Amino acid sequence: MMPANESRAKGVTVRLEDVSFDYGEAPFRFDVGFAAAKITAIMGPSGSGKSTLLNLVAGFEAPRSGRVLIDGSDVSAAPPSARPVSMVFQENNLFAHLSVERNVGLGRSPSLSLGDADHAAIAEALARVGLAGKERRLPRELSGGERQRVALARVLVRDRPVLLLDEPFASLGPALRDDMLDLLANVHTERQMTVLFVTHQPEDARRIGQDMVFLDNHTVAATGTAADFFDGSGPDAFRRYVGMDAAKGSRLDDRG
């Protein structure tokens, strides 16, 4: 294991090349790239394929055809743990019977055989996400926001160049979500990983998104910078989806 504060992984590009996939119904088709070291917000109606896209990158699903490229190399056949990817889900990110410290430790060693350097890295990561002193707690003794912080600490100790976020803050209240978004933005500034951020909240995307990918009908409907999407020049389907008043241009109706 490498020392805690050395040679951290920098973001790399992620690309889905003519990927098709299906659960037995209408197929998904993705042909899209994600810039290195940027936060790309992925939005779209329910069932449009946001989570499926993340699952393809993470390796939980295998494409029927096409390739998944990370940093230019084809990972389509690699198991999830062999990909340079970390992921945070909306819930169940932690093992309920393991302490905070051990949950984070699993990011360093899947057998929890941890050395001094690992413990140092874990302590540093927990401090970074504001959980110093809660190492011995069990997940059930934490709030929902704290649990997601533990998941983020594990992302830090795993130190992979790509971070996939599948609506990680969807079950948090507005104030907590803002805190988490700030934390995420700060961590991103330090680590410069490539972040694919699936969210239902236009506010999330506007707040920390740099690029945007909009999915509709099982495929990529539009891509661009977040700024373009939110200043009214985004595609109609996106404006309808977020409830943006087309006449006034940029007012957002937060759909909660």
Q: Which of 46, 79, 175, 248 binds other proteins (CB under 8 A)?
A: 79
Q: Which two tokens stand for residue 109?
A: 């060693």
Residue from 11, 44, 49, 59 touching other proteins (CB under 8 A): that is: 59
**Tokens in use for 148?**
């997601």
Which residues make Cβ contacts (< 8 Å) with residue 222, sequence separation at least 6? 212, 213, 214, 229, 234, 235, 237, 238
Burial 190-219 (b: 16+ CB within 10 A, else e): ebbbbbbbbbbbbbbbbbbbbbbbbbbebb
Distance between CA 72 and CA 120 in Å, rounded? Answer: 33
Nearest approach, Cβ of residue 105 and other proteins (Å):
10
Among residues 24, 246, 247, 256, the one that binds other proteins under rule CB under 8 A: 24
DSSP state of 250: S
User: Site for other proteins (CB under 8 A): which residue of 5, 7, 25, 256?
Assistant: 25
Its sign, for the CA torsion 115, 121, 122, 127, is: positive
Q: Does the footprint of other proteins cover residue 81 (CB under 8 A)?
A: yes
- What tokens appear for 237 in the block? 């389907």
Candidate segments 30-38, 43-51, 82-90, 223-231, binder of other proteins by CB under 8 A:
82-90
Which stretch in 37-45, 93-101, 184-192, 196-204 sits in contact with other proteins by CB under 8 A? 93-101
35 or 62: CB nearest other proteins? 62
107 lines the binding site for other proteins (CB under 8 A): yes
- 34/252 Cα distance (integer angstroms): 26
**Residue 19 C-beta: closest distance to other proteins, Å:** 13
Range in contact with other proteins (rule: CB under 8 A) among 16-24, 142-150, 228-236, 237-245: 16-24
131 alpha-carbon distance from chain centroid: 20
Q: Rounded to whole angstroms, how far apart are CA atoms 94 and 140? A: 10
* Total of chain residues touching other proteins, rule CB under 8 A: 31
Rank residues 121 and 205 by Cβ distance to other proteins and give the closer one. Answer: 121
Where on the chain is the footprint of other proteins (CB under 8 A)?
22-25, 58-62, 64, 79-82, 85-87, 89, 92-93, 95-98, 106-107, 110-112, 140, 158
